[in-house]
């Protein structure tokens, strides 16, 4: 048996809601570590960054679902909604930690959104994801129709790029990690527009040539 189907069999046994439990559990655990003074000298920043990075991982994972299915025959489709909503949950925590524990003053929160380009960019990405989170349910899909719903949810592409950009822009000096994240996100989005939309037979020929 090929290894993609082994993986798919394993994945089939996992219930998708498990991701909510793991995601929320991780956030709660980090918060507890912060409250009990186990996050080092600057717990606010550690918590803030942990939530932001977790959201980025979820974004990349969510964007990887389709290419993984098509290129590696690994099927994560049933987790896609949970991945998206868990990403959004991390973003809500990221924003809350930033606004409440870090900046602390509501007037300053607004000033930062308007004045600081990397925060403007990050916030724009979050705003784009808001309708996606709100429509991540079967009722919305039925009401909007599959085509309209799918169209709306392509907003995840600009949102993800803004998220990657936000990560790059907040770094001091030239740092590799944020750049790798951004390039990965751009590649995953670009794949959707650049992949050969041809018949399976033609694709097989292409692979043989390659």
From 35-43, 77-85, 86-94, 125-133, span contacting other proteins (CB under 8 A): 35-43
Return the closest-CA partner of residue 32 out of 17, 53, 46, 52: 46
Is 42 a residue that touches other proteins (CB under 8 A)?
yes
- The rounded distance, in Å, linking the Cα atoms of 164 and 90 is 15
Is 111 a residue that touches other proteins (CB under 8 A)?
yes
- The rounded distance, in Å, linking the Cα atoms of 69 and 92 is 29
Subset of residues 171 to 200 that bind other proteins, contact rule: CB under 8 A: 171-177
Is 101 a residue that touches other proteins (CB under 8 A)?
yes
Which of 104, 137, 154, 198 touches other proteins by CB under 8 A? Answer: 104
174: number of CA atoms within 13 Å, CB side?
A: 0
In the complex, minimum distance from the CB of residue 141 to other proteins, in angstroms, rounded to a whole number:
39
Is 48 a residue that touches other proteins (CB under 8 A)?
no
From 70-78, 115-123, 131-139, 190-198, span contacting other proteins (CB under 8 A): 115-123
Is 47 a residue that touches other proteins (CB under 8 A)?
yes
The number of residues in the chain equals 210
Dihedrals phi, psi of 201, to nearest 5 degrees: -65, -45
| Cβ proximity of 189 and 160 under 8 Å | yes
Collapsed DSSP state (helix, strand, coil) of residue 13: helix
107: number of CA atoms within 13 Å, CB side?
A: 0
Return the closest-CA partner of residue 76 out of 91, 63, 89: 63
- The rounded distance, in Å, linking the Cα atoms of 210 and 197 is 17
Q: Which is nearer to other proteins, 154 or 175 (CB)?
A: 175
From 33-41, 69-77, 125-133, 187-195, span contacting other proteins (CB under 8 A): 33-41
Is 28 a residue that touches other proteins (CB under 8 A)?
no
In the complex, minimum distance from the CB of residue 163 to other proteins, in angstroms, rounded to a whole number:
17
Residues that bind other proteins (CB under 8 A): 34-45, 47, 101-102, 104, 108, 111-112, 115-118, 169-177
């Amino acid at each position: 048996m090929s290894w993609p189907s082994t993986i798919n069999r394993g994945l089939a046994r996992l219930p998708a809601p498990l991701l909510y439990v793991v995601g929320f559990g991780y956030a709660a655990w980090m918060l507890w570590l912060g409250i009990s003074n186990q996050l080092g000298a600057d717990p606010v920043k550690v918590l803030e960054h942990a939530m932001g990075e977790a959201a980025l991982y979820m974004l990349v994972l969510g964007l990887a679902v389709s290419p993984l299915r098509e290129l590696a025959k690994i099927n994560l489709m049933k987790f896609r909604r949970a991945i998206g909503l868990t990403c959004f949950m991390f973003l809500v925590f990221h924003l809350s930690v930033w606004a409440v524990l870090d900046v602390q003053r509501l007037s300053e929160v607004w000033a930062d959104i308007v004045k600081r380009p990397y925060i403007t960019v990050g916030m724009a990405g979050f705003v784009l994801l808001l309708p996606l989170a709100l429509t991540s349910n079967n009722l919305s899909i039925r009401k909007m129709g599959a085509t309209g719903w799918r169209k709306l949810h392509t907003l995840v592409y600009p949102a993800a790029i803004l998220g990657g950009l936000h990560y790059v822009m907040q770094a001091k000096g030239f740092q590799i990690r944020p750049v790798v994240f951004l390039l990965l996100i751009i590649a995953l989005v670009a794949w959707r527009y650049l992949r050969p939309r041809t018949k399976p037979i033609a694709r097989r020929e292409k692979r043989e040539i390659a």
